[in-house]
Amino acid sequence: MEKIEHSTISTNGIKMHVASIGRGPAVLFLHGFPELWYSWRHQLLSLSSLGYRAIAPDLRGYGDTDAPPSPASYTAFHIVGDLVGLLDHFGIEQVFLVGHDWGAIIAWYLCLFRPDRIKALVNLSVPFFRRNPQVDFVEGFRALLGDDFYICRFQVPGEGEEDFSSNTVNVFKRVLANRNPSPPIIPKEIGFRGIYKDPETLPSWLSEQDLDHFATKFNEKGFTGGLNYYRALRLTWELTAPWQGAQVKVPTKFILGDLDLTYQFPGMKDYIHNGGFKQDVPSLEEVVVMEGAAHFINQEKGEEISTHIYEFIKKF
């Protein structure tokens, strides 16, 4: 870990913290919520040892990167703009792209908006979400899963922040180690911290040091930046109307665990396996469902995910 280099760059009007290691073709890793560049620690070391330049920023709103206060500063266009600026800063014309959770959502948009900058994509946990021209993302989820679905609850300013900040170490312990694949439903009287129980022991892939790293950074920065991605969903939906029906045409591999909560969303398995996903992403070459793996698959199955990434990108 000490070989990983850290820098701060200027991009799209913000200061962004970037972790990187290695020389060779560039691989850009995008983390999710509530995470940091650190979520890719295993992949940074593994891919750099195989001859790649591995790059993992703290995305806008997270860790040591700036966090603009307004949710309107967190649309897909803002985040993609940050990443195009990152590539330009380092003089990288094209990159291999890897995303997880919200990082996967941003990766889909980056491939949609700027396919000229992407050689190939490996996305984890979150498949492409087809835009419904009649209903925005938040109201679509509300219709399927109700007002207490976590994406709907996160729309309320301050509520999620208070919930997550109550005991940060315990929040990360419960969230990262969660094995319940049901979509999170969060009654207000229970809160996010109340829907998952503390694990009796930490899983082998998650240490107290890991928890402390996440908790320390989120205690410093807070959770508002990460939650603002959810609060900008409606604005992203409005602004992406010109891309209605557009396909992602970048060569793609998709991986998720069979215990991933996104895999249990209504209609998701049918979409992934019965043609809908392939229709939206015609260059989808592989779909891998890892048995016994949950949502934070890049940390839980670090070595296997690194191998999956390498086996795909080495073809290009």
Mind telling me the catalytic residues? 101, 230, 295
Which helix (H) or strand (E) element contains residue 159?
helix 159-164
96 within 8 A of 236, measured Cβ to Cβ: no
Q: What is the DSSP letter of 184?
A: P
CA 120 vs. chain centroid, Å, equals 17
Q: What residues contact 134, with CB distance under 8 A and at least 6 apart?
A: none
> DSSP H helical segments within 6-116, as ranges?
41-49, 76-89, 102-113
Measure the CA–CA gap between 241 and 246, rounded to whole angstroms: 10
Closest CA to 79 of 68, 95, 63: 68
65 within 8 A of 230, measured Cβ to Cβ: no
95 within 8 A of 119, measured Cβ to Cβ: yes
Q: What is the DSSP letter of 209?
A: H
Task: Name the phi and psi angles at 186, rounded to 5.
Answer: -125, 85
> What count of other Cβ atoms lies within 10 Å of the Cβ of residue 12?
17
Maximum separation of any 2 CA atoms in the chain, in Å: 51
Q: How many CA atoms lie within 13 A of 140 on its CB side?
A: 15
